[in-house]
Each structure stands twice: as structure tokens, then as C-alpha cells.
Amino acid sequence: MERGKMAEAESLETAAEHERILREIESTDTACIGPTLRSVYDGEEHGRFMEKLETRIRNHDREIEKMCNFHYQGFVDSITELLKVRGEAQKLKNQVTDTNRKLQHEGKELVIAMEELKQCRLQQRNISATVDKLMLCLPVLEMYSKLRDQMKTKRHYPALKTLEHLEHTYLPQVSHYRFCKVMVDNIPKLREEIKDVSMSDLKDFLESIRKHSDKIGETAMKQAQQQRNLDNIVLQQPRIGSKRKSKKDTYIIFDTEIESTSPKSEQDSGILDVEDEEDDEEGARETFENYYRKQRRKQARLVLQPPSNMHETLDGYRKYFNQIVGFFVVEDHILHTTQGLVNRAYIDELWEMALSKTIAALRTHSSYCSDPNLVLDLKNLIVLFADTLQVYGFPVNQLFDMLLEIRDQYSETLLKKWAGIFRNILDSDNYSPIPVTSEEVYKKVVGQFPFQDIELEKQPFPKKFPFSEFVPKVYNQIKEFIYACLKFSEDLHLSSTEVDDMIRKSTNLLLTRTLSNCLQNVIKRKNIGLTELVQIIINTTHLEKSCKYLEEFITNITNVLPETVHTTKLYGTTTFKDARHAAEEEIYTNLNQKIDQFLQLADYDWMTGDLGNKASDYLVDLIAFLRSTFAVFTHLPGKVAQTACMSACKHLATSLMQLLLEAEVRQLTLGALQQFNLDVRECEQFARSGPVPGFQEDTLQLAFIDLRQLLDLFIQWDWSTYLADYGQPNCKYLRVNPVTALTLLEKISREMKDTSRKNNMFAQFRKNERDKQKLIDTVAKQLRGLISSHHS
């Protein structure tokens, strides 16, 4: 029973499942029925399901049949109408076909045109796309072409900048093109190539400017000289719209010289032609800058090394300056036409080094120069050198300071030169008054030397100036020396007061040292004669008077009045006074030497017993010489002539006294004393004759008073008076010294004793001789007493 119930329950479940599957089949899309049917085949009631399916199909067929029966009349009607429509449709088809044929025929050309339009539109799109792509590519190609052009023309630094822009700006925009990849791959090679070639050209450029620096410097200095000459002309003439050459104009020197002298000029300038762009290649720039500056420093040291024989000629200095100027003209040009290769600090440092070395070299080499003309030319060259570099902005004050040092050296060389000139003038002078035979000659001399003498002007020709030729010659040479000093001061930017002070100090050295030494040397010459000495005194007197005219001459050329504060005065007066005093002393010495020479001819027979009746021959000749000599003293200042005459007479008197008292003469006779007295009288006669005007009466005779009183004492044998009046202020023999009297008395005593022994060898002394001898002994004793009392 239970089994029956269970089977019935299972049958109900199967029937429900089959009903569900059938509903699902009816409602599900045919494409999705597979899973449903699979579930039927997977079950065990397949047959029952098929039965149910057949039953369901039969039910649906019956429903379809019922529906068809219901709609059959409508279907028939529809078929009938459809057949009618079929005929109309055929007609319509024929019309459409005909219309289509006509349309196809008529639209054939349009189709062709549309096809062409389509192709054109396609081409237009392609062209537009191509243009857009080309617009992106063209800048790249243009930059690459520019790069190639710059490399071809060897403008390497701009090429590096172009390469930088190409790599970082243009190529990234078209990086997907194959040609761009080729360019990108080639960029490192191009960069290295540019750097290598640039460095090679930089080396060539450095070598080129090294070779042509002197030519550049020569041209720059020539232009500076031309500009200075033009400025001088403008200062002397009214201004006619001229203007000073600008610094910009002077850069043409550099370009002109490089183009005209170097086949690499365009290549070199390409290195320097830098555009104003951002600097992204610091490494490459520093490499080039460091190399350039290092090489230029080496070149600077070579340029600043002067040749060992530079001081021998002006060309040596000129070449040295040309190289330095050329070097710094190039550096200044590079500073103003490049960006970063050099800077002002580098230039200033280089110039400071160059300036110190140049000044040191000039100090050393100029010290060897002994030719003032070369020193002056060197000064002018240094001024031109300084002016040229000053145009380019280089400070040159130290050069002008050094020129002041060279000025002192120039003065020394001038002094040496003028020492030779003065020596030649003094050696070639005849030391005779200048004769003039005509008014023309007179005016010529007066034109050379400031001299006025109304009395001389009134005299008829021929006549003579009081001075010799060396006076106008020396005066004119002093003026030439002043002109030479003035030449050195030109263009040194000195004030009139400084120039005046320089000229006066140098002229004072010329007068007090050079001319004074030359005059002293002439005066001290061994063979100098009294006539020459007298003429020197006359000449120096006139030169001394001319000093005020030299003062006026300096004032006229410097426009600085002598009254100006701190103005140096000329020492010419002192110089000529000293020379004149030296000449006077030399005259006195020379006269005494001449007197000594005559006295050496004296040949007295101190043992003679004969009484002479005339003066000795040597003394007569001496007096004649003195008369002729003092006759030449007419143009000397009176005091000089009087002093010379008095000095000569005193020296003659002293020499005669020494001759009488000399120790070698141990004996003398009264006869010899009488002859000596005649000679002294001749001297006294000369003194009384007034050989030189201006002496008061008997003043010149006083030179012989010692001799006169001594000779009178012995010749008159007036011992009683001498001994009695000795020591009295008004005694007759006041000038006779007891020592002198005793010396002479002993000589006479010895002669008398010797004579007595010879004449009375075997006999007694005669009475009068014995008495005289006793008297001599008594006087000698008294004289010794006077001497001892005087000493005590």
C-alpha cells in the first residue's frame, strides 16, 4: 500500500517537472532550449515526457486548425488582393527599373566627378597632414642646415649653440621620424668635431695674433700719433667740427690687421663672433676660457721679456712697445666683442702684471743710455705708448710717474753732453777779445749775447769786445740746454710751475756743477797762461751779468714769473763768481810761479868784493815780465789787478829774503850785499812806477819794507840806532827781526874770519879788522840777548 503511495507521489513529481519543462520550451528562445532538453535526457522518464510532448503538440495543432478555419475567408481575400497588387508591383518595378537605368545613365558623370572629388579630398587631407608634419620638421632641418653652414664657415661657437637648440628644443618635437633618430645619434659626434676643430682654430688664432701683435701695435701707435698731431693742429687753429676718434673706431685696427696679415682671419673671427644666448655649456666654455687665458699669459710673459740689447737703439724700444700695445689691443677687442672669453678683472690683472714688468724693464734699460737724444726719443715713445693704451681704457699713470724718474736721468745725460760741449768751447777758445770789423759782425755778436756798452758802440771799426768767443757760445749753449729740458717736459701733463721748477733746477746743475767744473778744469790746467786767466775773469764777469737775461728767458718760455712762490732761483751768479775767484787765485799762484822761475836764474856771488853798479839781469827780466803782465790787467776789475800786483810784490820780496837767508849761503860779503841792494832798489823802483793804477802813494813799496830796512841796517852799519830804538813803535828799523839780523850778521862774520885767516896766516890781525870783528861779536851778543828776552 505504502509502496503504491510512494510510486504515486513520484509520478506526480515527474509530471510536474515535465509540465515545467514544456512551459519552458514554449516560452524560451530556440537557441537557448539546449539546456532544457538536456535536463530531460538526463532524467529517467524520457518516454513519459515524449508522450506528454506529443499530447501537447496535438493540442497546439488543434488550436492552430481552429484559428485557420476562423481566418480562412480573410486569407482568401488577401490572396486575391495580393494578386492584384502583383500586377501593379510589376508595373512599378518596370518603372523603377527604367528610372534606375535613366538615373544610372544620367549620374554616371556625377559619380565620376564625385569619385574625383573624393580623391581630391583625400589628397587634400594628406597634403594638409604632410604640411603639418613638415612645419614641425622644417625648423629642425633649418637648424641642421644652419649648423652645417656654421661648421663649414668655422663659426664654431655659434655652431655649438645651434647644436644645443637643435638637441633640446627642436628634435624632441619630431622624435618619431627616422631622420631625427639619425640626427640624434650624430649629435655627440658633431659636438666633439666642433670642439676639436674649435680648439684647433683657437690655437691657430692664438698663433696668428702672437705673430701679428707687433704689426697691430705699430698700427695702433701710428693712429695715436696721427690723432695727437691732429689735436695739436686743432689747438693751433679754429675748431672746424673735428672730433676725436672714438674707441669704437680704433677696433678697426684689429680687424684690418688680422684680415690683411692672416689667411685664417675669418676663421679666427668666427671663434669670437658670439651671439647673445643663454650659456648652457659651462664645461666647454671653461675649457676654452682657461686654455685661452693660459696661453695668453704665456704669450704676455714672452712679449714683456725685452731683448738684451733693447737699449742700444730706439727701434729696440719701439718693437718692444709695439708688441705690448698689439697684445692689449687684441685683448680689449676680445673683451668688447665676445661674451665671457675674457673679463675686465682678467684684463686688469694682466695689465697690472704687464705694467710692473714694463716699468722695471724700462728702468733697467734706460739706465744704460748715455745719449740724451735717445733718452728724449724714448720719452716721446713712452708717451705715445701710454697715450695709445689710454685710448683703450688702460690706466697709465705709473708710466708718467716713471717718466719723471727718466727725466732725472735725462738731465744727467744732458749734463754729460753739455760738459763735452763746454769743454770743446773752452778748449777751442783763443782767450782773446773778439775783434769786429763791421757793423754786421757787431750786431751778430750782440744778437748772440746780451751786451751793451755805449762807449764801445761809439768807437770806430775795427774794435774789440772785452770778452772772448766762449762767452756768447756758452750763453747760447745754456739756452740750448734749457730748450732741451723743455722738450722733455712736453706731453707729460705737468703744470707750468712744475716745468719751470724742473728747468731751473736742471739749469742750476748745469751752472753749478757742469760749467763750473769745466771752468775750474781750464783754470787749473798746468799750461794755462796769465793772459788766459785774465780773459777768463773778464768772461765770467760778463756771464755773471747775463744771468738776469737767462732768468727772463726761462720766464718767457714757461710763463711763470720769478716772483711766484717757491720759484727756484738761478745760481749762475755764484757759479761765475766762484770761477772768477778761482781764476784770480790761479793768477796769483801763476804769477808767483813765474817769479820763482826767474829767481831760479839768480846767480849771486856771495863772496865777491866788487861793488856792482846795476841790477842783476834776471831781476831786470823779471821786472819787465811783470810790467808786461800787469799791462794786460787793464780790463780786469781794479781790485783784482791790485791784489795780483800786491801779491806778486810780496811774493818777490819774501823770495828775495829767503834767498838772502838760505842756510846753504854760510858766508857773504858786504860787496855781495851791495849788489843785492841794487836788485831790491830795482824792485822798489818798479813798485813806485805804479804798474797797476789805484794804489795810494808808496803802498806797493811797503811789500819790500822788510828788505829795505834790513839792507839799510847792514849797509849803513847802524847798529847803535837799531839796538837803542828796538822795541819802540816809531823806531827806524821796526821791520827788522833780531833773528834775521843775527843770521845775516853771522854770515858776514864768518866771511870776515875766513878772509882774515887766509890773509894773515902767520901774522896777527890788523887792528881795524880786529876792532870790527869785536864789534860784530858785541852786536851778535846783544842780538842774542834781544832774542832770548823776546822769547822769555
Q: What confidence tens digit (pLDDT) does each residue in 290-314 have?
A: 888 888 888 888 888 888 888 888 8
Q: What b/e readout covers 256-289, taking b as 16+ CB neighbours within 10 angstroms? A: ebbeeebeebebbbbbbbbeeeeeebeebbeebb
Stretch 170-182: mean pLDDT, rounded? 80
Task: Give the count of beta carbons closer than 10 Å to the beta carbon of residue 366.
Answer: 22
φ/ψ of 463, rounded to 5, equals: -145, 175
pTM of the shown model? 0.66
pLDDT > 60? residue 241: no
What spatial distance separates the first Cα and last Cα of the chain, rounded to whole Å? 212
Stretch 121-140: mean pLDDT, rounded? 85
C-alpha to C-alpha distance for 52 and 47, rounded to whole angstroms: 9
pLDDT > 70? residue 254: no
| pLDDT of the residue at 264 | 39
C-alpha to C-alpha distance for 399 and 355, rounded to whole angstroms: 8
pLDDT > 90? residue 421: yes
Q: Which residues contact 141 (CB under 8 A, 6 or more apart)?
A: none
Burial (CB count within 10 angstroms: exposed 0-12, middle 13-18, buried 19+), residue 576: buried
C-alpha to C-alpha distance for 434 and 445, rounded to whole angstroms: 9
pLDDT > 60? residue 258: no
Stretch 61-84: mean pLDDT, rounded? 82
pLDDT > 80? residue 554: yes
| pLDDT of the residue at 238 | 46
Confidence of residue 273 (pLDDT cuts 50, 70, 90): very low
Q: What confidence tens digit (pLDDT) does each residue in 457-475 have?
A: 888 888 889 899 989 999 9
Q: What b/e readout covers 79-95, taking b as 16+ CB neighbours within 10 angstroms? A: eeeeeeeeeeeeeeeee
Stretch 168-172: mean pLDDT, rounded? 81
Mean pLDDT of the chain: 81
| pLDDT of the residue at 259 | 46
433 and 525 Cβ atoms separated by less than 8 Å: no
Q: In the structure grid, which three cell numbers stand for residue 339, read together?
A: 661674451
Q: What confidence tens digit (pLDDT) does each residue in 206-235 have?
A: 777 777 777 887 888 888 888 878 876 776
Burial (CB count within 10 angstroms: exposed 0-12, middle 13-18, buried 19+), residue 651: buried
Cell 508591383 found at: 89
Tell me, what DSSP letter sits at residue 760? T
3 state SS for 124-182 = HHHHHHHHHHHHHHHHHHHHHHHHHHHHHCCCHHHHHHHHHHHHHHHHHHHCCCHHHHH
Shortest CA distance to 700 belongs to which of 736, 769, 661, 646?
A: 646
Q: What confidence tens digit (pLDDT) does each residue in 4-43 have?
A: 666 676 677 777 777 887 787 777 766 666 776 677 776 6
Q: What domains, with CATH codes, occur in the chain?
A: 14-66 (no CATH), 177-231+284-394 (no CATH), 410-432+468-585 (1.10.357.30), 601-791 (1.20.58.670)
